[in-house]
Structure 1
């Protein structure tokens, strides 16, 4: 019994340590991240348009891993409210400043991770997880949590880097050792789609703007 308790404590302690490391990485990266231009603006705009075609004025939306808030701010006029979350307080500071500057008042920013923040089941019409799933160690738990939080017929919008298709993927361990890259989960498009459908989602749309990423609208 004592051994089981010790193992559980060590696992919890390990998760907490990794979370603190991840928060520190993104806090340190926030200012540089905010200054980086979007690499493929045409693809980004297409993703925004596809997503907004689903939105309704009375919808409640959750975005986890919102970064500096650019996407949430762009979507805000199309829905009733958005809760935008991120592990990094520095990212959220920048996001709040941007929203204030643009007089956006229907976004609530919250610090935390998807597994830690408390929301009621079936609370949201849409959940956005953009460029985040490949950064999560337990992607299956995140997808299940999203499914639980969505209302019936709600949508999960994801844009995900396919790390196995990145030409310089072999450099990632070196970059991580140097503190220049966070944890990344390596999977291909079919594995991602299978994990979504195994959870109970149906794939409403999928689009691959290039070999290194895939954009998916999954419906509960």
Structure 2
């Protein structure tokens, strides 16, 4: 399987042109996210692709940092931010685990359609925990494919030919346990759209880090 950064670099232009598949579910996710935002918040988004969501949310907060592993995705995102004239949005290239708040922790960390594309989704949750202030929020939406065994050979074949990224067949229970183990309390969990396998989570960083050994 080709490196993930290479896959997303090759996909970036087509990804940027692709319409959102379920606009109703996306708008529901954005509405729930907006309900947690405040004008003075600092926000960090992991795996932001071409920063389409960042363009929507950045005007609502003090500062927004949008990150992605793909240099091509980041370049497109920077062009979009410049063309939109959004001055409080930084678009940066970073791997999960490769970026930390330097002096001022973030109020929210967002990860949409990312955790199921990682071999270790716990690394993203732990990074979010490290970047957040006490009581800060980690908001994610994740496709949970546990039990969908018929998809494994299809995805494996597509990966062999460089047509699909790594996919982690997470279950909702495993996902929520992973986020809790990183030091969060889950305060909202739902599926958008209802009945599908897209798990929306809002988790709050606990005041005391209860992870073993930390």
TM normalised by structure 1 equals 0.86
Equivalent pairs counted in the alignment come to 202
Residue pair 1:205, 1:216 contacting (<8 A) in 2 also: yes
2:173 is aligned, of 187, 190, 210, to 190
Structure 1 consecutive aligned stretches of length 4 or more whose deviation exceeds 3 Å: 165-168
Residue pair 2:108, 2:136 contacting (<8 A) in 1 also: yes
The aligned counterpart of 1:3 is none
Could you tell me which runs of 5 or more consecutive residues in structure 2 were left unpaired when the two chains were aligned: 206-214
Residue pair 2:96, 2:123 contacting (<8 A) in 1 also: no
1:181 is aligned, of 151, 164, 169, to 164
Question: Greater CA deviation, 147-156 or 197-206?
Answer: 197-206
Equivalent runs, 1:193-212 vs 2, <5 Å: 193-208=176-191, 209=193, 210-212=195-197
Q: Does 1:156 align with 2:138?
A: yes
Q: Does 1:169 align with 2:154?
A: no
Q: CA deviation at 1:168?
A: 5.4
The aligned counterpart of 2:20 is 38
1:57 is aligned, of 39, 49, 53, to 39
1:215 is aligned, of 180, 189, 200, to 200
Residue pair 2:111, 2:139 contacting (<8 A) in 1 also: yes
Instruction: Indicate the structure (1 or 2) with the bigger Cα radius of gyration.
Output: 1
Structure with a larger share of its residues in helix:
1
TM normalised by structure 2 equals 0.89
Distance in 1 between the 2:73 and 2:60 partners? Answer: 23
Q: CA deviation at 1:127?
A: 0.2
- CA distance 1:93–1:198, change in 2 (3 Å): same
Equivalent runs, 1:18-37 vs 2, <5 Å: 21-37=3-19
- CA distance 1:101–1:166, change in 2 (3 Å): farther
Distance in 2 between the 1:167 and 1:44 partners? Answer: 26
The aligned counterpart of 2:125 is 143
Q: Encode CA deviations 1:62-86: one digit per residue, 9 max, x unaligned.
A: 0011101000110011100011110
**Equivalent position SS for 2:21:** coil
Could you tell me which runs of 5 or more consecutive residues in structure 1 were left unpaired when the two chains were aligned: 1-17
Higher relative contact order (CA closer than 8 Å, sequence separation 6+): 2
